[in-house]
Amino acid sequence: MDKWLKSLKTNTPQEGFELAITLSQMGVKYTQPSERVRKRLRPIYSNNAGNLISASHVIAVNFRTVAAANNYWQ
Amino acid sequence: MDKWLKSLKTNTPQEGFELAITLSQMGVKYTQPSERVRKRLRPIYSNNAGNLISASHVIAVNFRTVAAANNYWQ
Amino acid sequence: MDKWLKSLKTNTPQEGFELAITLSQMGVKYTQPSERVRKRLRPIYSNNAGNLISASHVIAVNFRTVAAANNYWQ
Amino acid sequence: MDKWLKSLKTNTPQEGFELAITLSQMGVKYTQPSERVRKRLRPIYSNNAGNLISASHVIAVNFRTVAAANNYWQ
Amino acid sequence: MDKWLKSLKTNTPQEGFELAITLSQMGVKYTQPSERVRKRLRPIYSNNAGNLISASHVIAVNFRTVAAANNYWQ
Amino acid sequence: MDKWLKSLKTNTPQEGFELAITLSQMGVKYTQPSERVRKRLRPIYSNNAGNLISASHVIAVNFRTVAAANNYWQ
C-alpha cells in the first residue's frame, strides 16, 4: 500500500481526531481492500445506530493513541 | 468541518466528562454527517438498552483520554 | 445538568469502583435523559446476560480511569 | 454494600487475575443485585460462546488495572 | 485452581503474545470450568467470524498488559 | 508455531500499523489454525459492516501497543 501514515503528530487536537478517523478507516480498508464493496456497505452502517456507535468506539481508541503521541497537545 | 475541538483541557472533571460525550457524538457525526439521519436514529438507540450501554462505553473510552490530558484534575 | 462530579479522588478502591458505576450510569443518562424510559429499560438489560456483561465492561473501563486518578490507592 | 474491595494489591499475578474476575463479577452484581436472577442467567452465558468471550474481555480490562496497580509484579 | 500464572515476564514478544492467549483462555475457563462444555463450544466460535474477531480482541487487550509488563521487550 | 514476532519495533508508524494488523490476524489464527476455514470465513466478514468495524477495533487496540513500544515514533 502507498504511504499514508508518516507521523502521529498533529498541530491541533481536532486534526488528531481526524487522524484517528483515518486510522479507523484504514483498519477497514486493509481488511476489505475493494473500494466497490466498502462503498456498498456505507449506506448500511451509516444508517444503523449500533454500527455508528461502534465506529465512534474505534475512533475513540485511535484518538487515545494519537492524543498520547502528542502529549495531549499540552 | 468547522473548528469544534480546541483543547482537551477542562476546568473540572464534569466538564471533562461532557467533552467526552462531545467526542463520542462527533465520532458518529463524522461517520454519518446528515443531521436528518442522525435525528431519525436517535429514538432507536435511546430506547435500546444495548445501544445505550454501548454509547456509555464510547464515552468511557473518551473520558479516559480527557482525564489523562488533564492529569486527572489533580 | 447539575453538578454531579467534583473529583475523581476517592478514599478507598471500593468507593472508586462505585464512582466507576456512577460514571457508567451517567453515560447512559446523558444519552437518554428520560428517567421514565431508563426505568422501563432496567428490567430488560438487568435480565439479559449479554447486557449485564456489557455493563460490567463499561464499569471496568471507568474503573481504570478512576484507579489511575487515585494512583491505584497506593 | 458490604466491604468487598480493600486493595488492588495482590501477592502474585494469579491472585491479581482472580481479583480481576471478582471485579468483573461485582460489575454484574451491582447492576443486577438479585442473586436469584444471576443464578438463572448463569447457564445461559456459560453455554454461549459469544458471552464467554465477552466475559473474558471484561476480565482482561480489569486485569490490566490490577496489573498496573501492582507494577506488573516486577 | 492450580498455579498457572507465575509471572507476566516472557523472553520474547512472541512468548508474550502466547501468554496473552493463555490469559484469554483462562478468562473463559474460570467462567465455564467444564472442559466438556468448552470443547462443545469450540467448533461454534472457531467457525464464526464475529466470535473469532472478538477472541482476537481479548488477546489484544491481554497482550497490551503483557507487553507493558515486559517494557515492550526493549 | 514458527517464529513470526521478533520485535514490536518498526521504522515508521505505517509499518507499526501493519504490524498491528498482523497481530490481529494472528489472534484469529491461533484460535482457528485451519487456513481452509479462515479462507471460507473471509468473504463473510469482509462483506459485513459490523465485522469490518470490529476488525478495525482490534487493529486499533494492537496499534496502541505497537505505538507505545515505539514511543509513538517520536
Residues F2-33: tens digit of each pLDDT: 999 999 999 999 999 999 999 999 999 999 99
- D23-67: pLDDT as tens digits: 999 999 999 999 999 999 999 999 999 999 999 999 999 999 999
Work out the number of other CB atoms within 10 angstroms of the CB of residue A18.
19
Of the candidates C8, C24, C37, which has its C-beta nearest B60's C-beta? C24
For the cut 90, the answer to whether the pLDDT of residue A1 exceeds it is: no
The predicted model gives E10-29 an average pLDDT of 98
| Model pLDDT, residue A39 | 98
Of E38, B70, C52, C65, nearest in space to D62 by CA: C65
Q: How far is B23 from chain C (nearest CA, A)?
A: 13
CB E8 within 8 A of CB E65: yes
Q: What is the nearest CA distance from E74 to chain D, expressed in angstroms?
A: 16
- Residue F62's closest CA among E59, C1, A40, E27? E59
Say if pTM beats, i.e. exceeds, 0.95. Answer: yes
Nearest to E18 by CA among F29, F17, D53: F29
C52 part of contact set with chain D, CB < 8 Å:
yes
Residue boundaries of the structural domains of chain A: 14-73
Write down the mean pLDDT value for chain F. 97
Tell if the CB–CB gap between A32 and F52 is shorter than 8 Å: yes
Q: According to the model, what pLDDT value does residue B59 have?
A: 98
Q: How many CA atoms are closer than 13 Å to the CA of A1, on its beta-carbon side?
A: 15
Residue type, F7: S
Q: Which is nearest to E31 in space by CA: D48, B62, C54?
A: D48
- The ipTM of this complex is 0.98
pLDDT tens digits for D45-56?
999 999 999 999
Cα–Cα nearest to D69, from D15, D3, D2: D15
Q: Does B54 touch chain A (CB under 8 A)?
A: yes
Integer Cα distance of F73 and F12 in angstroms: 7
CA-based diameter of chain A, in Å? 41
Chain E residue at shortest CA distance from D65: E65
Stretch C32-53: mean pLDDT: 98
What is residue E1's predicted lDDT score, i.e. its pLDDT? 77
- CB count in 10 Å sphere of residue E11: 9
The 10s digit of each residue's pLDDT in E22-67 is 999 999 999 999 999 999 999 999 999 999 999 999 999 999 999 9
DSSP of C10-41, one letter per residue?
A: -SSHHHHHHHHHHHHHHHHHHHS--HHHHHHH
| List of chain B residues with pLDDT < 70 | none
Going by pLDDT thresholds of 50, 70 and 90, the confidence category of residue D70 is very high
- Residue D45 to residue C47, Cβ atoms within 8 A: no
Say what the pLDDT of residue D1 is. 78
Average pLDDT, chain A: 97
Give which of A56, A59, A74 to mutate to test B binding, by max B Cβ within 10 Å: A56
Q: How far is the C-alpha of F14 from the C-alpha of F11, rounded, in Å?
A: 8
What per-residue confidence (pLDDT) applies to B1? 78
Nearest CA in chain E to F55: E53
Task: Return d(Cα B40, Cα F56) in angstroms, integer.
Answer: 26
> How far apart are the C-alpha atoms of B64 and C6, rounded to whole Å?
16
